[in-house]
Amino acid sequence: MGFQVLETSKLLNYARARSLWIVTFCTGCGGVELPPTATARFDFERFGIISTPSIRQADLLLITGYVTPKTLKRIIIVYEMMRNPKYIIAHGSCPINAGIYWDSYNTVKKLDLYIPVDVWIAGCMPRPEAILRALVKLMRMVKEGKALGWKRYLENFEFYRKNQDRLFGKDWRKREIEKLRFYIHD
């Protein structure tokens, strides 16, 4: 994975900050707070934020709830399919320290060992106001060029990969591709 140079200027950063597209992918129970954030009461489209079903077009991945190792594999695959620059918001107390699943054998306790997170939202459940506040904070970070999670992932890829391999076992990427082989027609 080579290092890529990102052009930055005031206009480009402003455009990036004002048009964050969320990939429609929810884990756990936090997804129920997103429809109120998107519809008439709170309306995140006034900041230029829309949700897009295609991973290739999205900039922002919301992790909305507890993460099991099985879900984490999908999250990592989705995150790696998104195009740089890309951002992650971890939503709720479960991604921070597993929340009420603190003693569960099957919940990831520290999410940022596996993928880089830009903004955390505390609370169970965070209300739409909290989500909007996190989105506005991320917009400010993007505008100032400080949301560099995607760069951390590229620079420290060996670290993240070692942690992922320890959790899932070696060659987990190959096994995941084998599962999807049926759907790929080249």
Q: Of 14, 102, 157, 159, which lies in the binding site for other proteins, with binding defined by CB under 8 A?
A: 14
| Contact call for residue 39 and other proteins (CB under 8 A) | yes
Q: Of 19, 68, 71, 163, which lies in the binding site for other proteins, with binding defined by CB under 8 A?
A: 19
Q: Of 6, 124, 167, 177, which lies in the binding site for other proteins, with binding defined by CB under 8 A?
A: 6
Please state, in angstroms and rounded to a whole number, the distance separating the CA atoms of residues 80 and 165.
Answer: 15
Please state, in angstroms and rounded to a whole number, the distance separating the CA atoms of residues 75 and 163.
Answer: 15
Closest CA to 88 of 112, 56, 60: 60
| Contact call for residue 138 and other proteins (CB under 8 A) | no
Residue 154, token pair as written in the block:
């590229």
Q: Of 32, 74, 83, 170, which lies in the binding site for other proteins, with binding defined by CB under 8 A?
A: 83
Cα-based distances in Å from 29 to 15, 71, 73, 128, 130: 31, 13, 18, 14, 16
Q: Which listed range, 15-23, 98-106, 132-140, 170-178, lies at the site for other proteins (CB under 8 A)?
A: 15-23
Q: 87: which strand partners?
A: 60
| Contact call for residue 43 and other proteins (CB under 8 A) | yes
| Contact call for residue 163 and other proteins (CB under 8 A) | no
Please state, in angstroms and rounded to a whole number, the distance separating the CA atoms of residues 172 and 162.
Answer: 12
**Shortest Å, Cβ 114 to other proteins:** 21
| Contact call for residue 157 and other proteins (CB under 8 A) | no
Please state, in angstroms and rounded to a whole number, the distance separating the CA atoms of residues 132 and 99.
Answer: 21
Q: Which residues contact other proteins (rule: CB under 8 A)?
A: 4-7, 11-12, 14-16, 18-19, 39-40, 43, 45-48, 52-54, 56-59, 83-85, 183-186
